[in-house]
Amino acid sequence: MLPEYMKIEIHGEKIGSVSPEQNKSRIIIKGQEYCFENAMVLPGLADAHLHFFGIGEAAQMPDFRNCKSEDEVLNALLRKPFQRGDWLVGFGWNQENFTSKKYPHKHIFDKAFPDIPVFLKRIDGHAALLNSYALELLGISESSPSPEGGKIEKDANGELTGILVDTAMDIAINRLPFYSEEQIRNIIGWSQEYLFSLGLTEVIDMDLEPRLIPYFKKFDYDGFLKMRVNAFVKSQNNEHKDSVKSPYFGNNFSIRGLKLYVDGALGSRGAALKSSYADDFGNTGLILMKKEEIVKRINEAISQELAVAVHSIGDKGAEIVLDAFNEVISSNPNAIQKFYEKRRELPLRLEHCQIISSDDFSKFASGLIGASIQPIHYTSDTTNMMAQKRLGETRMKDAYRWKSLKATNAKLLAGSDAPIESPDPFLGIRALTNENRPDEKTTLAEAFDAYTVNIQKSLGNYPARGIIKMGNDADLVIISGSQQVLCTISHGQIVFRNEARK
């Protein structure tokens, strides 16, 4: 639905009444009226794919996103060092923003930190830079082979560069010291306050680490967690086995399913393509999980009433996952139907849907597959010409095909992939309706639906959420004509109000 001028009375956590207004919106809570001139109301916005803990975590770290060289990355780290135990960690560098366009090298970090381990993630989360001391602690040497689905980068002389890609990063990630409960609470608190300020009232948290689950449950139980957080738990290496055996539904925290990966990311050339990268002949990316294993994992999950979301960036990755989805749907129809009838949720989700060949679009026909998109990726990937360089002109026609996806029976779900991108939903809405893509842009109403009703349907929350009517959950956002968030309401309470516009 499009934003409208409304008068809404809220009774407890529900919408008590709705009526039209003229040139303003009025919200009445416990007898107190809040009037917003020239402002309209929407259902609370949702994000179909972000990393909730990662948003608050990244905010504590040095900001590398605007760095133009590895020297600037080093200087940012020196200005604002952030540690996990005795490790220096950071997030957000992007060699596409460097003048050299080359990956950073461990050499300058070795000089600055000869006896402190350093671990700095790339902006897409699919590559990391480590210094020599960190590599030594991890037992990684020039003779170390790259793990399946990953890469330990070496230069022409066989020397380690410090770059680990995809599964190779796990060697380091599994050794990083974890946070204290106080740190975790602060990170979660920062994330929810920031997201409320953007008009978001519900999120789907992708790839949640199992060791964070007890903290989310605790903070949900004691009332600290106010954002509705629906988790898909990290499962690539069966990390979930001991902690997730069925869905979980708390007050605001729920576990909906499991997260898998079929490939890597475009920026680090790990996305699985059907033919070589345009700027790296012979490299077709990484396949992190074969179709047979995906089918097996889905069947196991569905038997436990857990949905499955699979990361796919490249066209080869999409082909593998969609074939796996359809094999499960055709070979195990009773289990899939039972899941859908009981939960009213989508059992299967293709995450990112970034590059999909035309001949694979028919594989969405079942209506049981969510097409989870991050429109803001189009903006960032094409502004710096990264996508064009990786794919070439012809294959770019298969990328970011939102209108084409909607024309299939796919359920279009929009998100941000924050903190990789900004979680501001209005940036995504502008990308979806971008006039530069006349063949693939959506209407404004379709864009808002992708952030509201479509997501709520995918979670089985519709019609209680996603539309505004009497009796529905009082999750609302009030916006100005320029799409500035003026007020966010969750569970019938104001959780954010723009102080400058009171």
Same domain, 83 and 145: yes
In a domain, 321, yes or no: no
Specify the length of the chain in residues: 502
Q: Within a 10 A sphere around the Cβ of 102, how many other Cβ atoms?
A: 11
Give the Cα separation of 237 and 251 in Å (integer). Answer: 29
Give the Cα separation of 426 and 265 in Å (integer). Answer: 24
Same domain, 72 and 166: yes
Same domain, 65 and 136: yes
In a domain, 502, yes or no: yes
Domain boundary at 173, 190, 212, which? 173
User: Residue 312 corresponds to which amino acid?
Assistant: S
CA distances from 86 to 52, 125, 177, 445, 448 (A): 24, 21, 8, 49, 44
Alpha helices in 247-346, H assignment, sequence order:
291-303, 315-331, 333-343
- The residue behind tokens 């006896």 is 115
Same domain, 17 and 124: no
Q: 288 and 261 in contact (C-beta within 8 Å)?
A: yes
Give φ, ψ of 98 to 5 degrees: -75, 150
Same domain, 23 and 63: no
Phi and psi based region of residue 269 (left: phi greater than 0; alpha: psi -120 to 50; beta: remaining): left
Q: Residue 490 is part of a domain; what is its CATH number?
A: 2.30.40.10
Domain boundary at 140, 173, 206, which? 173
Same domain, 5 and 100: no
Same domain, 73 and 144: yes
Q: Is residue 240 predicted with pLDDT exceeding 70?
A: yes
Mean pLDDT throughout 126-141?
Answer: 98
Mean pLDDT throughout 25-40?
Answer: 98
- Give yes or no for a cis peptide into 62 (omega within 30° of 0): no
Same domain, 74 and 16: no
Same domain, 156 and 72: yes
As given in the structure block, the two tokens for residue 319 are: 């082909």
Phi and psi based region of residue 335 (left: phi greater than 0; alpha: psi -120 to 50; beta: remaining): alpha
pLDDT of residue 290: 98
As given in the structure block, the two tokens for residue 464 are: 């209680």
Same domain, 68 and 147: yes
Cα angle, residue 429 at apex, residues 313 and 227 outer, rounded to 5°: 85
In a domain, 397, yes or no: no
Give the Cα separation of 136 and 134 in Å (integer). Answer: 5
In a domain, 402, yes or no: no
In a domain, 425, yes or no: no
CA 365 from centre of chain: 24
User: pLDDT digit string (tens) for 286-337?
Assistant: 999 999 999 999 999 999 999 999 999 999 999 999 999 999 999 999 999 9
Strand-pairing partners, residue 32, are 29
Range of the domain at 88: 58-173
Same domain, 16 and 66: no
pLDDT of residue 277: 98
CA atoms within 13 Å, Cβ hemisphere of 191:
27
Residue 502: which pLDDT band, with cuts at 50, 70 and 90?
low
Give the Cα separation of 170 and 125 in Å (integer). Answer: 11
In a domain, 15, yes or no: yes
Q: Residue 97 is part of a domain; what is its CATH number?
A: 3.10.310.70
Alpha helices in 102-242, H assignment, sequence order:
107-112, 132-138, 170-173, 181-197, 213-221
245: buried, middle or exposed (CB in 10 Å: 19+, 13-18, 0-12)?
exposed
Look over the chain and give the mean of its residue pLDDT values, rounded to a whole number.
Answer: 97
Give the Cα separation of 354 and 376 in Å (integer). Answer: 11
Mean pLDDT throughout 355-362?
Answer: 97
Domain boundary at 158, 173, 188, which? 173
Mean pLDDT throughout 128-151?
Answer: 97
Mean pLDDT throughout 392-409?
Answer: 95
Mean pLDDT throughout 219-228?
Answer: 99
pLDDT of residue 405: 96
Nearest to 354 by CA among 258, 440, 430: 440
User: pLDDT digit string (tens) for 143-177?
Assistant: 999 999 999 999 999 999 999 999 999 999 999 99
Q: 288 and 317 in contact (C-beta within 8 Å)?
A: no
In a domain, 391, yes or no: no
Q: What is residue 322's three-state secondary structure? A: helix
Total tally of structural domains belonging to the chain: 2
The 3-class secondary structure across 465-481, one letter per residue, is CCCCCCCCECCEEEEEC
pLDDT of residue 243: 96
User: Residue 26 corresponds to which amino acid?
Assistant: R
Q: Within a 10 A sphere around the Cβ of 500, how many other Cβ atoms?
A: 7
In a domain, 225, yes or no: no
Give the Cα separation of 482 and 287 in Å (integer). Answer: 43
Q: What is residue 278's three-state secondary structure? A: coil
pLDDT of residue 373: 98
Q: Is residue 52 predicted with pLDDT exceeding 80?
A: yes
Q: 53 and 191 in contact (C-beta within 8 Å)?
A: yes
pLDDT of residue 435: 84
As given in the structure block, the two tokens for residue 284 are: 């077709």
Q: 435 and 441 in contact (C-beta within 8 Å)?
A: yes
pLDDT of residue 499: 77
